[in-house]
Amino acid sequence: MLYYSTRKNRKATGVSFAAAALTGLAPDGGLYVPETLPPYSPGVRNSLGSMTFQDIAFETIKPYVTPDIPDAVLGDLVQDAYSFDAPLLHVGDRLVLELFHGPTAAFKDFGARFMARAFAYLRRGEDKALHILVATSGDTGGAVAHGFYGVDGVKVTVLYPKGQVTPLQERQIAGLGGNVSALAVEGSFDDCQRLVKTAFNNEDLKKRLVLSSANSINVARLIPQAVYYAAAAGKAFTGTIDALKTGEAVGKFRAVEKQPITFCVPSGNFGNLTAGLYALEMGAPIRGFIAATNVNKSIPDYLETGYYEARFSKATISNAMDVGSPSNFERLTAHWFSLKELRRMVRGVSVSDDNTRKTIAEVHKTTGYFLDPHTAVGWRGADQVYAEHNVPTGPLAVLATAHPAKFAETVQPLTGPIPIPPSLSKAIERKPNAQTIPAEISALLEALS
């Protein structure tokens, strides 16, 4: 498999998976995309509802990493990376795909843990350390920090907007130490992302450091996220929905077998949605997607008007989605040139903070289920789309992208106490240690010196 830049000279030269993953950005500043989206074999496509998550991960990722990661290595890698599940539950009148059972209680664990193990293999025998720069608006930083913590030959620097992440997120980002450093940027996520991209194009820095990224700008983080879409779509298609634990609310949803699923994806930088589109193109039984954003709605507006305008991000209670200029818009338009084609697969919608809070309270009152603010944006977004449009029949699943306890300051006043998973209990005890810098490239370069 070869990878090309999303920009104008994308067909000039192709690079291997290893080169695309370890460099992060293409030399022209574009994002790497695979030359093709390889279909599942008929046998795999027909067995998605019965295969283990690890087996689906192997079959999904394999064509993208061949020949750089041999099958035997990939098999061990996915077994080690995915020691947790992604249950598909029925809650109220819909399904919820829970993606917060990893070590940092956010969906970013799926990509970060794969990347850490893949990079360790691809960098075997290298003398010079790999330095990962990552910008985060919340959960990415914690997942990357945890995924790469203690990995030999790798250093990580996480940039996050100062004062715009939750206290728990900050402890996950800046509380590990060791080979993980944190920079609190006096600005927005867009400023953090701009600094990272500018650093990657700085020739002097590239001479001093071996740089890579771990945002969804890196294709190595995006590809593993296609796995949980394929696994959930297979379960929904065969009606094998996971049961809720005893004592939890049982919803009204009844599985509809042999119907492709619609996913509602809380969206910020749009890497997660792009991964879902990869799974659809590979042949998973997916009908389409709802892209639910908060008030940072550049792509929903594009889908409605056909005009894309990058904007400054606005702070919301669903802070991991506070992205005014989504990087993965480049990937969407590189893969799917036609706006008509994108509209066929994706509907866009935005949700206010007021409606996010109302949804958290209403869903807990009627079902007993806790939503974090990002998942609540997805839940309300699906409600809005289904109320306004004639949506095809079939199951609907909302992606639960983070555990609600990560946003207790917002959720608990609306629902009461939230059970805290052990992974977050450990993080709460950490003391964050971050260096504050202005949103200037000179400050970042000095911090990296």
What is the sign, positive or negative, of the torsion defined by CA atoms of 402, 408, 414, 418? positive
Tell whether omega for the bond before 161 is within 30 degrees of 0, i.e. cis: no
Q: Which neighbouring-strand residues pair with 396?
A: 262
| E strand intervals along 162-283 | 180-186, 210-213, 261-266
Long-range (24+ apart) CB contacts under 8 A made by 404-407 are 404/370, 404/371, 404/372, 404/375, 405/105, 405/168, 406/105, 406/106, 406/139, 406/166, 406/168, 406/169, 406/372, 407/166, 407/168, 407/317, 407/372, 407/373
Tokens of residue 315, six digits: 């702070």
- The residues annotated with a catalytic role in the active site are 108
- Please report where in the chains the tokens 């008929």 appear, as a residue: 42
Q: Which of 62, 403, 91 is nearest to 227 (CA)?
A: 62
Q: Give backbone dihedrals phi and psi of 346, rounded to 5 degrees, phi first.
A: -130, 130
Exposure string over 60-71, b if 16+ CB within 10 A, otherwise e: bbbbbbeebbee
Token readout for 308 is 């894309």
Please give the sequence-ordered ranges of beta strands (E in DSSP) within 139-238, or none if there are none.
Answer: 154-161, 180-186, 210-213
Name the residue with tokens 């000095």. 446
Give just the sign of the alpha carbon dihedral 55, 60, 63, 66.
negative
